[in-house]
């Protein structure tokens, strides 16, 4: 599931803990932009949100136009 917020959803929580559900949490703006880009036919969507934070660990990194994203 890709979401910006799941609240206190006990079903999702249990499925995540039981490794039935894979969860990808994204900031609301990033999620909105990913959806917009997909609707416009723009395949990749890159953002610099999360650079230099724990979120960056283990993620693909690209250097475009001399900027890390």
Domain count, the chain: 1
For residue 58, give Cα distances in angstroms to 11, 50, 61: 28, 12, 9
Percent pLDDT > 70 in the chain is: 94
Q: What is the chain's mean pLDDT, rounded?
A: 86
Q: Residue 57, Cβ neighbours under 10 Å: how many?
A: 7
pTM over 0.85: no
Span 39-61, mean pLDDT? 83
Let me know how long the chain is: 69
| Contact status, residue 2 vs residue 24, Cβ threshold 8 Å | yes
Span 8-24, mean pLDDT? 93
Domain membership of residue 11 as a residue range: 2-68
The reported pLDDT for the residue numbered 30 is 87
The reported pLDDT for the residue numbered 68 is 62
The H or E element that residue 30 is part of is: helix 28-39
């Amino acid at each position: 599931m890709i979401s910006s917020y799941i609240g206190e959803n006990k079903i999702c929580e249990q499925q995540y803990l039981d490794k039935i559900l894979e969860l990808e949490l994204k900031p609301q703006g990033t999620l909105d932009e990913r959806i917009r880009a997909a609707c416009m036919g723009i395949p990749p969507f890159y953002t610099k949100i999360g650079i230099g934070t724990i979120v960056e660990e283990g993620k693909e990194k690209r250097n475009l136009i001399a900027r890390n994203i």
